[in-house]
Amino acid sequence: MSVVRDLILQADDQLRYPTGGELRSMVEFLSTGPNRLTVVRILTDNEKKIVDEAAKQLFSRKPDYVAPGGNAYGAKQRAQCLRDFGWYLRLVTYGVLAGSTELIQKIGLEGAREMYNSLGVPMPGMVESMRCLKEASLVLLSSDDAAVAAPYFDFLIQGMQTPC
């Protein structure tokens, strides 16, 4: 779930103390805490702005999604789409905090394809929506902060592109 937890569990599984290299990895991870917290704070404080911008980008690229018969046509479907944007943004913040993609995998990707397929939501649309979410988020961050957040968005996007 986090770099520190994973390193400790690995050492414990092998009935040993963490190695010098593992301890240095922990120190490096812990030293990036203020930067990771800044990223999370910016994304959290700007959730509505990010979600609204991502939706604007997506629906301008894919107007058929909000046209009659589209997956985001109507107030209820559009609200569900925006809810999912916020949910995935929250998962990215969990990843940034933990320094791990484990929660994104467990909560956001496992079963997501099946769920979206069963609801008739095209996965290419979800991938494009996550790209829009990434773009809307990273523009609010400094280049250093964007470099921290981008891999978590990329993991999410890649996971949605990967076949079941």
Q: pLDDT tens digit string along 107-151?
A: 888 878 778 878 778 888 899 999 999 999 999 999 999 999 999
Environment class of 118 (CB within 10 Å of its CB; exposed 0-12, middle 13-18, buried 19+)? exposed
What is the rounded average pLDDT of the residues 159-164?
77
CATH class given for the domain over 32-161: mainly alpha
Question: What does the pLDDT read at residue 1?
Answer: 60
Domain ranges of the chain: 1-31, 32-161
Question: What does the pLDDT read at residue 2?
Answer: 79
Residue 60 has a CB neighbour count (10 Å cut-off) of 10
CB 153 within 8 A of CB 109: no
Average pLDDT of the chain is 92
Token pair recorded at residue 129: 């929506």
Cβ neighbours of residue 115 closer than 8 Å, sequence gap 6 or more:
none
Helices (H), the chain: 3-13, 20-31, 33-45, 47-61, 75-98, 102-103, 112-118, 123-138, 143-161
